Copies of this chain bind each other. A is one copy, B any other.
Amino acid sequence: MTPQGPPTAQARPVDADEPWMRGLHADTGYLLYRLGLRSGQLFNAALQESGLRLRHYALLRYLATVEGAPQRELSVRLGYDPSAIVGLVDDLERLRLVERRPAPADRRRRIVVLAEAGRAYLRDTDEASHRVTDELTGPLTAEERDTLHALLLRVAEQRDEG
């Protein structure tokens, strides 16, 4: 398909009708990738003052929905490697936001439980979380934000099994 031009690079004008020429933001996938990066940066910046990062926040958030989970479950549900969970729980336990408990039936497992301070932390950072989302979806109306959220949720639940 390459024309008879020389094999070396040429700064000739591009053909804007070609399908591979639709610009950077033509792919929804790439768009999601870039916005995900920006969203993570904003989140981490907002959480920076408390010394935690987005990963810790996600873990706390999940713990608030299940009241206690072994680290293996955290690894599967959050999509982080088991070795990563260790460090995250270490950090959170050091801050008394979380507590490791022995599992009654299986002495291999260690149940991670949200501590009272962890609940308070979630309460306090909820506002910051809202700020990030607002800043991110700034150019959208309230209805558009809802539809965007609903669509993203459908896409996210594709593999997350609810």
A154: which of B9, B101, B140 is its contact (CB, 8 Å)? B140
Known contacts being A7-B116, A113-B9, A148-B148, is A21 close to B137, with CB within 8 Å?
no
Q: How many copies does the complex hold?
A: 2
In A106-136, the 8 Å CB interface with B consists of 111, 113-120, 122-123, 125-126, 129-130, 132-133, 136
Q: Interface size of A by Cβ–Cβ distance < 8 Å?
A: 85
A43 to B130: give the CA distance in the assembly, Å: 29
In A24-73, the 8 Å CB interface with B consists of 24-25, 27-40, 42-43, 54, 58, 61-62, 64-65, 67-68
**Is the contact region of chain A dominated by helix, strand, or loop, or is it mixed?**
helix
CB distance from A119 to the nearest CB of B (A): 7
In A76-101, the 8 Å CB interface with B consists of 78-79, 98-99, 101
Closest to A93 in B: B9
Set of chain B residues within 8 Å of A154, measured between Cβ atoms = 139-140, 144
Does A18 lie at the interface of the complex (its beta carbon under 8 Å from any beta carbon of B)?
yes
